[in-house]
Amino acid sequence: MLPQTITEFGYAKINLALHVTGQRADGYHLLDSLVVFAGIGDHLRATPAAEMSLSVSGPFADGVPTGEDNLVLRAARLVAGDMGVAFSLVKSLPPTSGIGGGSADAAAAIRAVTRLRAMAGSLKPLSPEDGQKIVALGADVPVCLASHPTRMRGIGEQLDWLPPLPEVHVVLANPRIEVPTPAVFKALAQKENPPLPDQVPAWVDAADMAAWLVGTRNDLQGPALAVAPQIGRVLTELEQLPGALMARMSGSGATCFALFAKENAAQEAADHLRAAQPDWWVAAGLIYPGRADMAQLIRA
Ligand code: C5P
């Protein structure tokens, strides 16, 4: 029988809001963030094999190490037991850009290995120590595992799913600069900022959601602008796109996003921006609204 190949998707992560509320003794920052996922991302194919291996292709393949330090292989080894897997990653998300990239790929690898082990009848439950090792891969890996709209606290390990979102479309833009996350956190002068409001409402539509978000912040946007002033240009261009409800930077940058109520408005805005800024990476997609049944379970 031919080994079965399965495909997982590494969804782009977007921090709609990111408040830095403190700092731990080990230097990691405490966050209060609203994290959502778009139908824009990396494809990961996984086939059972004698050994672990990884090949990388796609528009951003050059920025990805294929050796043992790659997050796909490190994540897979944590959960694979003695199973080998041949991975093939199509890298479409720009690396080191505030939208999850490596964390999304690591999460996709963990989902892929879990599915393959279930198919082989060798699935083992994860222990709390396995969970800690997964967080240690990257603070965004846990939230990327479910890729569900989430309020994320702690350094990324406290996850509460949000009520289902209304239909919202996003345009992502990156001026093809890599902004190292530690440098941005280092440039953050004020480490203790107010958290998000206690209750995140169930927004009725995209305009309602954007109006609420205007009262929130990305506390890393100021420090990222100090590290990479080009981000200011990206924000201005996104804000000026017809139909844009709001624009903000995601994560530690440099990728910024704008929200739209309608798919055609987002697609047209993305085409317009690509024509105006041919050197930038620009993508449009739907924000995953989440599962109503799961949100009901949380409220119950
Ligand atoms: O965990 P991740 O690899 O995404 O983090 C990269 C760097 O960002 C960390 O080494 C740390 O300097 C900084 N960071 C932080 N607080 C967080 C997440 C990341 O200070 N909650």
pLDDT value for 296: 66
Give the mean model confidence (pLDDT) for residues 40-53: 97
Cis peptide before 49 (omega within 30 of 0): no
Say how many Å lie between the CA of residue 209 and the centre of ligand 1: 28
| Residue numbers of the domain that contains 108 | 6-154
Among 119, 154, 189, the domain-final residue is: 154
Give the mean model confidence (pLDDT) for residues 178-193: 96
Span 5-44, pLDDT tens digits = 999 999 999 999 999 999 999 999 999 999 999 999 999 9
What's the whole-number average pLDDT of the chain? 95
Say how many Å lie between the CA of residue 228 and the centre of ligand 1: 18
CA 268 to chain centre: 24
Ligand 1, atom 3, residue with closest C-alpha: 138
Separation CA 53–CA 13 (nearest Å): 25
**pLDDT at residue 124 is higher than 60:** yes
Say how many Å lie between the CA of residue 18 and the centre of ligand 1: 13
142 and 256 co-located in one domain = no
State the helix-helix crossing angle for 101-119 and 71-79, rounded to 10 degrees: 30
Q: Is 229 within any annotated ligand binding site?
A: no
114 and 170 co-located in one domain = no
Pair 249, 275: CB distance under 8 Å:
no
**pLDDT at residue 113 is higher than 60:** yes
Ligand 1, atom 13, residue with closest C-alpha: 182
Among 130, 154, 178, the domain-final residue is: 154
**pLDDT at residue 85 is higher than 90:** yes
Pair 98, 253: CB distance under 8 Å:
yes
pLDDT value for 285: 98
Give a yes or no: residue 1 inside a domain.
no
pLDDT value for 294: 67
190 and 121 co-located in one domain = no
195 and 251 co-located in one domain = yes
144 and 212 co-located in one domain = no
Give a yes or no: residue 240 inside a domain.
yes
Residues with beta carbon inside 6 Å of ligand 1?
28-29, 31, 138-140, 155-156, 181-182, 185
Among 154, 173, 197, the domain-final residue is: 154
Give the mean model confidence (pLDDT) for residues 83-110: 96
Residue 103 has what DSSP assignment? H
pLDDT value for 68: 85
250 and 276 co-located in one domain = yes
Weakest-pLDDT range from 101-115, 121-135, 244-258: 121-135
Separation CA 30–CA 45 (nearest Å): 34
Relative to the CA of 181, which ligand 1 atom is closest? 8
Q: How many domains does the chain have?
A: 2
44: helix, coil or strand? strand
Give me the residue label for tokens 């990156």: 174
Q: Name the nearest CA neighbour of 35 among 135, 154, 159, 136.
A: 159
**pLDDT at residue 300 is higher than 70:** no
140 and 196 co-located in one domain = no
pLDDT value for 44: 98
pLDDT value for 48: 96
Give percent of the chain with pLDDT exceeding 70.
97
Give a yes or no: residue 275 inside a domain.
yes
Overall residue count recorded for the chain in this entry: 300
172 and 207 co-located in one domain = yes
141 and 52 co-located in one domain = yes
